[in-house]
Amino acid sequence: MSTSSGSSTILKPGHPSRRPLHATGLALAILSFQTLGIIYSDIGTSPLYVLNGIWSSSGPVPPKEDVIGCISAIIWALTLLPLCKYVLICLHFGTHEGEGGTFALYQGIYPPKFFESTPTHDSMMAGKKRRADIKPPNSFRWPMLIWALFGTGLTMADGVLTAAVSVTSAVGGIAVAKPSVSEHVVSISIGFLLVLFLSQPLGTARLSLFFAPITFTWLLLLAGTGIYNITKHSGIFRAFDPSRAVMYFVRTGSYDTLAGVLLAVTGCEALFANLGQFNMISIQISFTSLVYPSLVLAYLGQGARLIVDGEDVISNIFYRTIPGKHNGPLFWVLFTYAILATLIASQALVTASFSLVQQLVNMRSLPPIHMIHTSDKTEGQLYIPVINWILMLATIIIVAAFNNATQLTNAYGFAVATVMFTTTVLVALQMRYVKHLPIIVAILFLGFFGFLDGLFWGASLKKIPHGAWVPLMLGVILLMIMTFWTWAKGLEDQFDRKSRKRLEGIIIPEGAGAIFGDSEKREEGEFVALQEQDDGDHCNKTLYLITPPLPDAKGAQGEERRVIARLNLLAIFHGVSHERGVPPSFTSFLRQWPSLPAFGVFLTTRVLPVPYVDDADRYVVSRVEVLPGFYGVAQYLGFRDEAALRMDEIIARVAELEERYAGADPDGNERAGARRRVARLLELARHPTHVIPHYAPKSKSLAMGRLSPIANYLRRVLIEDIYGRLTMMLPEGEGWLAPADEIIHVGVTATI
């Protein structure tokens, strides 16, 4: 927001808000090790259930050539998708700040409209120059947004299913050693899941210290058991021949098998989505040196044992192929690490869901939700109570409803395939419109990997009647909620921009002559403040509130003038628009409480298409010349930044600004007054009052021909009955922006 031409702090265009992590030598080795506990916990637990997802535990033993063909399909799926697509290609398409994931890809293609007028760092300036050459069609914006939101919704649905499938599969191993407890696998799994979700309020900082060593040991155990099992049938190495996979599908015509093969690459999206927490080189090193070979050896070993000991291992291929006795020490070691690894995988997806919800709330695609940041040191570690309890209930219901891991794997995979295809489309668009590669490169990438993703998506689609309808239903519900909220909030923001008024048209300084120059331009209910005296402290000037009545029949215009009180408080008037003018919260505050605070801040929040914004670039402060004691503050946030105001930083900027103003005063009076103002402001800033507009939406009638009555009725129901009630239930800022006793909601009727 801009209110006057006063001086302000300036964001430095050459100062980056965040850079990709750079590390070499020992630091790079440590960073690569740390990736194990965050990125690979999902794909690393896939050997628990993949082969039994292809061949049912109660079904017949597959022929030798079928086993080799399916293992070949798994190996080449791991090679082409996680290795080639994500590790070797997609990691190069992170943002300038090193962020990855579908949401970051969309933000890179279609940044917010104010992006070009708000250069906060060199990546934005470079992006502006690049987009000047080739711009994506604006008609694609909403379809791409809906596509990205659908992928995001399915990712959160994937979080529910990951916890359900992985934990149930790991716990199911106890029935191998203790058949008597096989009927209690579901209840034991629910017990582990309850512990997982009930521990979320504690935060993940301490637990994360053990993530990487546990996953590292788990992968070594997979590789070791795989090598041992391969010695039982060395002919399994024929699976490296891709023709074996092709001949399997030609011979059997079993297209549904791809839905089981897809389970081997679940979690590969995490390689790209977690790019911002690490860097490209560390992910490439850890995946190629440990994760990929460990998984390949594990699947080869399971295939070899299935060929040799088919009848003995088909009931639970992972646990029954562990070397030694089924109740021996190695079995219980692997069982323990399997439980820990699956809990880590579940934790990673739950944490990712929290992060996604934070991004969506910041980008105004979800209602404001109470968030708790669990770490003062690590940015991005947060806990969202309502999301945690929803995930817990959904996961427990799914585990209880599907009853066993085999049924759960039918539901799993659809969300993964859809998100992978979403990434392929967005990366292809990035190749053309952001990286400016030749269009043939984008077409080849989309054609090849889109074909592979399409094969897996089609196979998982056939599982809809057998359980895949669950993630589809969850994804569609979340998509409808996010699309509806994005649309309604967009209409509200348009109203906010159009209803703003220039402060110069409401307030005039002392000696300006007429109260309001041209009285006919003034509308009923507008407020004019007049400066009358100057006692050395700008915040104590006497101000007058002028309320013009309606003109009489003769066209005469009278005025009623009264002194307006100055309240001893700091008020922060919130507004999200980047347009010039004071927010509706200010005029509504005057209308309801005809008084002015001693100090006021006109706050405008802008969420930029970057994950984080540096503290040095977070606030831009200007002085409102026509209203003493008031300041304009623009708050810049990344879509993963905490939305709470940092009052100490704002006060520090105000102090710098006042000092700069007072520096030109030769007799020192201004400097003394500035010090008094800052001292008083510091005292009031301990308990500021947040003035937040509460929009009461009213649907306006649209002319749509014969369909107008029906369309306007539906529009009125959506805006007034649904959106209006939701905004009353979930007011802006309540409980997360500031304590409830520091917030005032002022009503604004918004015709949208």
Q: Mark whether 623 and 659 lie in a shared domain.
A: yes
Residues 6+ apart with CB under 8 A from 245: 69, 70, 72, 73, 76
pLDDT for position 72? 96
Shared domain for 466 and 604, answered yes or no, is no
Asked if residue 525 has pLDDT above 60, the reply is no
Of 46-55, 468-477, 604-613, 698-707, least confident by mean pLDDT is 604-613
40 vs 749: CA distance, rounded Å: 50
Candidates 498, 491, 500, 496; CA nearest to 702 is: 491
317 pLDDT exceeds 70?
Answer: yes
Query: What is the CB-side half-sphere exposure of residue 104 using CA atoms within 13 A?
Result: 23
CA distance 489 to 464: 33
Kindly compute the dihedral angle of the four CA atoms of residues 288, 273, 411, 236, in this order, to the nearest 10 degrees: -10
- Determine contact, residues 185/404, Cβ cutoff 8 Å: yes
Does residue 189 sit within a domain? yes
- Count the alpha carbons within 13 Å of 160 in the hemisphere toward its beta carbon: 28
**Highest-confidence segment of 193-207, 230-244, 374-388, 580-594:** 230-244
Residue 645 lies in a domain: yes
The answer to whether 722 touches 670, Cβ cutoff 8 Å, is no
Same domain? For 520 and 485 the reply is no
Which whole number is the average pLDDT over 408-413? 68
H or E stretch including 748? strand 743-751
In the prediction, which pLDDT does 409 show?
Answer: 67
Longest CA–CA separation in the chain, Å: 105
Question: Which stretch of 41-45, 207-211, 274-278, 322-326 has the lowest confidence by average pLDDT?
Answer: 207-211
In this prediction, residues 259-273 reach a mean pLDDT of 85
Question: Helices 242-252 and 64-78 sit at what angle, rounded to 10 degrees?
Answer: 120
Is the confidence at residue 237, as pLDDT, over 90? yes
Span 268-291, pLDDT tens digits: 887 887 776 677 888 899 999 999
| Statement: residue 17 has pLDDT above 50 | no
Domain tally, the chain: 2
Which pLDDT score, from 0 to 100, does residue 171 have?
84
User: Residue 41: its pLDDT value, please?
Assistant: 79
Closest C-alpha among 284, 269, 267 to residue 103: 269
Residue 382 sits at φ, ψ, to 5 deg, of: -145, 165
DSSP H or E segment with residue 162: helix 141-171
- Say yes or no to pLDDT of 522 above 50: no
Decide if 236 contacts 300 (C-beta within 8 A): yes
Q: Helix or strand or coil: residue 487?
A: helix
Other CB atoms within a 10 A radius of the CB of residue 504 amount to 16
319 vs 506, higher pLDDT: 319
Neighbouring-strand partners of residue 372: 383
Amino acid at 524: E
Are 538 and 465 members of one domain? no
Q: Do 517 and 449 share a structural domain?
A: no
Does 90 share its domain with 231? yes
Let me know: does 531 contact 624? Beta carbons within 8 Å: no
Instruction: Using a pLDDT cut of 70, give the percent of the chain over it.
Output: 78
Whether 738 is in a domain gets the answer no
Q: Which of 597, 577, 593, 595 is CA-nearest to residue 687? A: 597
| Burial grade of 37 (CB within 10 A; 0-12, 13-18, 19 or more) | buried
Residues 324-371 have pLDDT tens digits of 887 788 999 998 998 888 888 887 778 778 877 877 887 788 888 877
Q: Is residue 464 part of a domain?
A: yes
Q: Predicted confidence band at 204 (pLDDT cuts at 50, 70, 90)?
A: low
Task: Provide the 8-state DSSP code for 523.
Answer: P
Selection from 210-214, 244-248, 346-350 with the highest mean pLDDT: 244-248
Q: Are 33 and 213 in contact (CB under 8 A)?
A: no
Average pLDDT over residues 64-90: 94
75 phi, psi to nearest 5 deg: -60, -45
How sure is the predictor about 591, in pLDDT bands with cuts at 50, 70 and 90?
confident
Q: Is 525 left (phi over 0), alpha (psi -120 to 50) or beta?
A: left
What is the percent of the chain where pLDDT is above 90? 21
Q: Which of these ranges, 218-227, 296-305, 492-501, 670-679, has the smallest mean pLDDT? A: 670-679
- On whether residue 35 sits in a domain, the answer given is no
Judge if 84 and 181 occupy the same domain: yes
Q: Are 475 and 497 in contact (CB under 8 A)?
A: no
Task: Estimate to the nearest angstrom the gap between the alpha carbon of 163 and the chain centroid.
Answer: 20
Q: pLDDT (tens digit, 9 = 90+) per residue, 189-203?
A: 888 888 888 888 776
For residue 406, the model assigns a pLDDT of 61
The residue range of the domain holding 589 is: 502-686
- Determine if residue 705 is left, alpha or beta; phi over 0 gives left, psi from -120 to 50 gives alpha, anything else beta: left
527-578: per-residue pLDDT in tens? 444 433 344 445 555 454 444 433 333 334 444 445 567 788 899 988 766 6
- The owner of tokens 């306006």 is 700
d(CA 606, CA 22): 28
CA distances 284 to 20, 79, 83, 645, 752, Å, are 15, 13, 9, 38, 49
Terminal C-alpha separation, the chain? 22
Q: Is there a single domain that holds both residue 172 and residue 219?
A: yes
What's the mean pLDDT in 609-628?
Answer: 80
Strand intervals (E) in 400-464: none
Contact 375, 205 (CB under 8 A): yes
**What stretches of 675-729 adopt beta strand conformation (E)?**
689-698
Mean of all residue pLDDT scores within the chain: 78
Say what the pLDDT of residue 521 is: 42
The single-letter DSSP state of residue 377 is: S
Higher pLDDT, 49 or 638: 49
pLDDT of 6 strictly over 50: no
Q: 28 or 663: whose pLDDT is higher? A: 28
The domain that holds 263 is classified in CATH as: 1.20.1740
Domain-embedded: residue 341: yes
Which range has highest mean pLDDT (495-499, 504-508, 520-524)? 495-499
Structure tokens at 301: 């070993």
pLDDT, tens digit, 9 for 90 and up, residues 92-142:
887 666 667 777 788 778 775 543 334 344 444 344 444 445 677 777 888
- What crossing angle do the helices spanning 647-662 and 669-684 adopt, rounded to 10°? 170
pLDDT digits (tens, 9 = 90+) for 146-161: 888 888 888 777 777 7
Closest CA to 269 of 123, 139, 162, 399: 162
Question: What does the pLDDT average to over 436-441?
Answer: 92
Q: Which of 49-53, 608-612, 626-630 has the highest mean pLDDT?
A: 49-53
* 254 and 177 both lie in a single domain: yes
> Residue 123 is encoded by which pair of tokens?
């990546």
The yes-or-no verdict on residue 465 having pLDDT over 60 is yes
Please give the structure tokens belonging to residue 475. Answer: 């994804």
Distances (CA, A) of 471 to 153, 259, 356, 474: 9, 14, 17, 5
Pair 540, 511: CB distance under 8 Å: no
Query: Among residues 686, 716, 732, which one ends one of the domains?
Result: 686
Strands (E), 343-446: 372-373, 382-383
- Residue 474's nearest CA partner among 525, 519, 533, 411 is 411
> In the chain, helix, strand, coil percent, each to 5?
60, 10, 30
Side chain identity at residue 160, one-letter code: V
Structure-token match 């994500």, residue found:
86
Q: Say whether pLDDT at 513 is over 70.
A: no
Q: Are residues 594 and 654 in the same domain?
A: yes
> Under a CB-based contact definition with an 8 Å cutoff, are residues 258 and 456 in contact?
yes
Same domain, residue pair 456 and 601:
no
For helices 469-498 and 141-171, give the axis angle rounded to 10 degrees: 140
125 in any annotated domain: no
Pairwise CA distance, residues 611 & 380, whole Å: 10
Strand partners for 12: none
DSSP-derived pairing of the beta strands 630-638 and 619-623: antiparallel
Give the pLDDT mean for 46-65. 88
Q: Confirm whether 718 is domain-assigned.
A: no
Claim to verify: residue 81 and residue 148 sit in the same structural domain: yes
CA angle 383, 389, 395 (to 5 degrees): 115
